[in-house]
Amino acid sequence: MEVVLEIGERVRCDILAWSGVDFGGKRRVLRVFPTGSIQGKLQSDELSSMVIRAFHGTRIILCTHATGEIEGGPWRCVRMVPGHTIPSEEARGMPGVRLPHLDRIDLPKSMRTNPELASSYPLVERFDDGEGWTFGARGIPDLANHVRRIIIEKDDGPRVRKIGDAERMARLILGQAKQLAPKALPALVDVASAELGEPDGSALRAWIEQD
C-alpha cells in the first residue's frame, strides 16, 4: 500500500527506505522539493529502515494510520536538530539521520541497530510533550512495515490539527442542528462519528461537546 504524504510549505527532504532492518532488502527513494513537487513513492509494507536527509529545522512524522490525529495510533517524530545529525557528503547537501530500525532508538549515525541495547524511542502521550531529536508513541502495529502516512513540515512549534472535508461538513450540519433541533443532536452525533471512524469521529464528538 502506498504511503500517504502530507507536505508542508517549502520543505526539502530526501528519504531512502529499505524493506528490511539495517538498510537491507528492497530500496526505494523519495525526494520532496520546496516547490511541492515529489519524486518517487514509498510502500508501507516495504519500510523497515530509512535514511532521512533534510535541512535543520525540519521534522518528519511517521504514522501508522493514513488520516486523522497523529496520536490516534503508533507514531514517531524525527527532528533535524544540530548535534543530532550526520553531515552531508556533498558541499551544499543536507544533513541526515539514520534509522536502522523504525521501532528502536539508535544514534543518528548508526549503520546497524544494536540488539543487545534495543530500546524504544522516548514515549509521549501528546505530540506537544515531545522533546529531543526523536520521540513518539508505541502500540499495535509496530512502525516497521506499517507506516501509512509521512508528514514532512517545518519544525516550528506545536502542530495544528488539519480538518478534512468530511469532518468540516459534519461540523457545519451539527452546528445548525444544535440550534434548530437540539433533541436530535445526540443521535446525529452518533451517526456522524460512526461514519467518520476513528480518530476523526472522536474529534468531532469532542468539538460538539466543548460548549
Q: At residue 162, does pLDDT exceed 80? A: no
Q: At residue 6, does pLDDT exceed 70? A: yes
pLDDT digits (tens, 9 = 90+) for 80-108: 999 999 998 887 889 999 999 999 999 99
What's the predicted TM-score (pTM) here? 0.77
The alpha carbons of the chain give a radius of gyration, in whole angstroms, of 19
Rounded average pLDDT over 1-10: 93
Q: At residue 199, does pLDDT exceed 80? A: no
DSSP one-letter string for the chain: -BPEEEE-TT--EEEEEEEEGGGEEEEEEEEE-TTS-EE---BGGG-SEEEEEE-TTEEEEEESSSSS-GGGS-EEEEE--TTSSBPPSSTT---EEEESSTTS---TT-SS--GGG--PPPB-SSGGG--SSEEEE--SS-STTT--EEEEEE--SSPPPPPPHHHHHHHHHHHHHHHH-GGGHHHHHHHHHHHH-TTHHHHHHHHHT--
**Among 112-121, 138-147, 199-208, which stretch is predicted with the lowest mean pLDDT?**
199-208
Q: Which one-letter amino acid corresponds to residue 147?
A: V
- Band of pLDDT at residue 2, cut at 50, 70 and 90: very high
CA distance 75 to 148: 10
Q: Which pLDDT score, from 0 to 100, does residue 160 have?
A: 63
With beta carbons less than 8 A apart as the criterion, state whether 124 and 137 touch. yes
Q: Which pLDDT score, from 0 to 100, does residue 178 have?
A: 83
DSSP one-letter string for 71-88: GGS-EEEEE--TTSSBPP
Rounded average pLDDT over 108-116: 88
CA distance 110 to 74: 23
> 202 or 153: whose pLDDT is higher?
153
With beta carbons less than 8 A apart as the criterion, state whether 186 and 174 touch. no
CA distance 211 to 198: 22
> 22 or 72: whose pLDDT is higher?
22
pLDDT digits (tens, 9 = 90+) for 28-76: 999 999 998 999 999 999 999 999 999 999 999 999 998 878 888 899 9
